[in-house]
Chain A
């Protein structure tokens, strides 16, 4: 299973919106609604931000949203804040008792 493709970097100014893409194939992202997104600050463990394409765990601000079209999933961060600067990873799985495959990660910079 090949890694999912993410842009290495993205940026935006405070208050703006930024969208990070995650491209897979018809065998992973396109086949299942099991796409998750994780935020990782330097030196910290990753944190679940989105699961099941567009669901937010309790405590995640509604500025974070997810979507999917065909073989590409997207994470949108609206109303950018300085604390949103971090690495973001997507993952996709076939569901049930299967491991997932990660994207290479996107470094989001808040200008």
Chain B
């Protein structure tokens, strides 16, 4: 059974860099059929896509976040990572790791439980 599990610091200071990891179990991230990505849910707001990465290293970024985001993939550990720099209070929220099909049109069929990130000094 495919499972995604996010991990991260929980609390980040303003202007610092957030680093999150998503461990994938039950499937290989080297699959040629799926992208692996991140979605976030700010408090009181709606879902927002951040970025996704394919096994080849090809990345897709939300244009509004692209200048601050980097994604990477570690085949040996079967995990993906996200870094988001210059954090502000607006980046507070729950961050979810997701899978979506390469050809399915951004169908997010598997989600991790999410990890809460708070930006505060």
Interface, chain A (partner B; CB < 8 A): 1, 3, 32-34, 36, 38, 44-48, 51-52, 57, 89, 91, 93-105
Q: How far is the CA of A92 from the CA of B1 in the complex (A)?
A: 27
Of B37, B58, B114, which contacts A45 at CB under 8 A?
B114
For the residues of A in contact with B, the DSSP-based class is loop
- Say whether, besides A45-B114, A46-B96, A97-B102, A89 and B109 are in contact (CB < 8 Å): no
Stretch of B21-29, B48-56, B80-88 that contacts chain A: B48-56
Most buried by B among A44, A93, A99, A101: A99
Bound-complex Cα distance A91 to B109 (A): 13
If A98-B60, A99-B52, A99-B62 touch, does A34 touch B46 (CB 8 Å cutoff)?
no
> How close is B101's CB to chain A, nearest CB, in angstroms?
9
Chain B positions near chain A (C-beta within 8 angstroms)? 35, 37, 39, 45-49, 51-52, 54, 58, 60-63, 96, 102-109, 111-114
B105 in contact with A89 (CB, 8 Å): no
The B contact surface, by secondary structure, is loop
Residues of A near B61 (CB, < 8 A) are: 99
Is A102's CB under 8 angstroms from B47's CB? yes
Measured between C-beta atoms, what is the minimum distance from A51 to chain B in Å? Answer: 4
A51 and chain B: residue at smallest CB distance = B107
A47 to chain B, nearest CB (A): 7
Residue of A whose beta carbon sits closest to that of B63: A1
Supply 26 A–B pairs (Cβ within 8 Å), ascending by A: A32-B105, A34-B104, A38-B108, A44-B113, A45-B96, A45-B111, A45-B112, A46-B96, A46-B108, A46-B111, A47-B111, A57-B109, A89-B46, A93-B105, A93-B106, A95-B106, A97-B58, A99-B49, A99-B61, A100-B105, A101-B49, A102-B47, A103-B46, A104-B46, A105-B46, A105-B47
